Structure 1
């Protein structure tokens, strides 16, 4: 146990760019909260050209040092690993996007009596299903060598599955909200609609978007639907669905505050394992949005169905919710959801959990 701040060396996809990087807001919320509690963060990310060109944080934040390393070979990464040596906590996140398998192995060389090495899985269902299907998966041999595995979600099903693969300890650190970033704002006409859905187009999400969002739009031709996120431009959609393209993080609050209702849809693996709220579900709740979510096991741990959100089994139930909600119902659900996430699901709550898992206590807390 220690009362001084920890030094974190974090290898992830990107802290400064949310471009095709769904983990960006999770990274930012959690690392900012850890910094506020006295920890020092260095974030190492690859200089992938498109991602760096579309930075939405043009200047590195004051709460983390950001090191962008060359993607031409591994020399830049070698220097980062040497710099990270001696940190209190070294984190290798999943889905860095370059040299992932190589880095999964190399970070383990930094383990010492004073350095914990953590694997932080942002898509645990995908990782576990991949390992289950492939006995030769190189990550199988590494799981037991990490001091701990943190996951962005998954609950007991993920914890038990990781333990079966040899994890010493597996701890879900769920998505949450930063109240300074996600909060109610004035509506904007450009985002006015009856139902909004915001997420990048991913293979393990598209079928569910079709059955929950596009199906509901088909059933309600007189209602206005809004679709935001990367990659949907060439996707056929009903005429009452307006596609607004990628939405910058600075505009997320406005979109959620302008839509009458907001839909959240889980990716395939997350829906199968359950207990995995997407970051955007809780972010939307923090703005006071009226939320409709697809059904997944464990939702009541985060929001109470019928009081803080509505749960739909398919596109028909989404359409019924859009059609039947009164203005009073929209307001009450949104306000109740906001109260719940601020009381239980902020990144400060998650930072405390991370400290506890690492065996760390801050003086006076």
Structure 2
């Protein structure tokens, strides 16, 4: 099954200020290795243009466009003829593009929500990239959040088929490296106002308590008025190819979760998988469903206060630290690689295509009865 796939996403060319790029790269590279032909469409905006860090794709294509009208004009035939068309969250003019795609594409259409917790928390207030009315028009809703969330999307918003598609680690790019350990604890992530309290509690506060230890925070868009402890190194941005070395330089790395993700649960970040794949043990804040991703105390360390972090940094034996890291890496390799996600997506495509065939072959009278029955429920 070699598919023609079109992905319209926020960005694949630049990882600056977003976690979408590495998620898309890992998935698309895996799909290409499996023989699928993938084209990624990205709006050409100056903040990504100035920070592009994509090396030449192996055997897939990136197309940049300038405005909404370019999509049907330049890519109309490509989208109409594709076996699978995916549009992602936070795409500029996403609602308009989705309306056009779902009315024109002959293949399976999917919405890939890399921001599911944010989407569901704010959908009723109005979003620029998705409306509730659009959800039933997609054959498939790919959710960044697992657990009960896909079923909720089907029941509450009328999705014909919602399935979890977590992010993953590209294990060809993210692997253990030899490096001198420089930091007791580090963090990699773009600034977010609702995530900053977690960073304050689980990294900055321990740093103030442990002045002999060194800490690091890497990521873009942090406000200039944040007061960093003297033993916290600030790194403005790291390209993905620099991530494995950064993780190798940490004894532990912090996973800090946005408020909407903590509230909804079952929403692991891409950095969680990438850090584990690099063999760096993770200290994470707590949220519902994290135990379905990594086993607490065996594959991941959970913290709810500065004291928890301080005790880990001060007291954990080196042998146990290494064992936790090895167990987490093993978990990633057995269930959270880009190849796993590509296989999942193939299965979802086949399931959605079969659902569409059954629906189209259903006699008109039966469809009328079903609609009538559903209206009474």
1:328 CA displacement: 1.4
The equivalent position to 1:53 in structure 2, one of 44, 50, 53, is 50
**Cα 1:93–1:136, aligned 2, differ >3 Å: closer, same or farther?**
closer
Match of 2:248 in 1: 257
> Deviation digits for residues 114-147 of structure 1, max 9, x if unmatched?
x011011111111111124459997111111110
SS of equivalent to 2:38: strand
Q: Does the alignment pair 1:125 with 2:103?
A: no
Identify unmatched segments of 5+ residues in structure 1.
none
The equivalent position to 1:25 in structure 2, one of 22, 26, 42, is 22
TM-score normalised over the length of structure 1? 0.90
**Cα 1:290–1:11, aligned 2, differ >3 Å: closer, same or farther?**
same
The equivalent position to 1:224 in structure 2, one of 214, 217, 222, is 214
Match of 2:158 in 1: 166
Match of 1:180 in 2: 172
Q: Distance in 2 between matches of 1:322 and 1:21?
A: 29
Number of matched residues? 351
1:347 CA displacement: 1.2
**Cα 1:316–1:74, aligned 2, differ >3 Å: closer, same or farther?**
farther
Q: Distance in 1 between matches of 2:105 and 2:71?
A: 20
> Deviation digits for residues 169-213 of structure 1, max 9, x if unmatched?
111111211211110112156xx1100001010233223222222
**Cα RMSD, aligned residues only:** 2.1
The equivalent position to 2:13 in structure 1, one of 13, 16, 30, is 16
Q: Does the alignment pair 1:266 with 2:257?
A: yes
> Deviation digits for residues 221-277 of structure 1, max 9, x if unmatched?
332111101022622222221112211111100111111111111111111111111
1:166 CA displacement: 1.1
**Cα 1:260–1:155, aligned 2, differ >3 Å: closer, same or farther?**
same
Match of 2:149 in 1: 157
The equivalent position to 1:210 in structure 2, one of 185, 200, 203, is 200
Q: 1:1-365 alignment to 2 at 5 Å?
A: 4-59=1-56, 61-71=57-67, 74-75=69-70, 78-96=73-91, 98-112=92-106, 115-133=107-125, 139-188=131-180, 192-232=182-222, 234=224, 235-359=226-350
SS of equivalent to 2:49: helix
**Cα 1:135–1:261, aligned 2, differ >3 Å: closer, same or farther?**
closer
**Cα 1:318–1:94, aligned 2, differ >3 Å: closer, same or farther?**
same
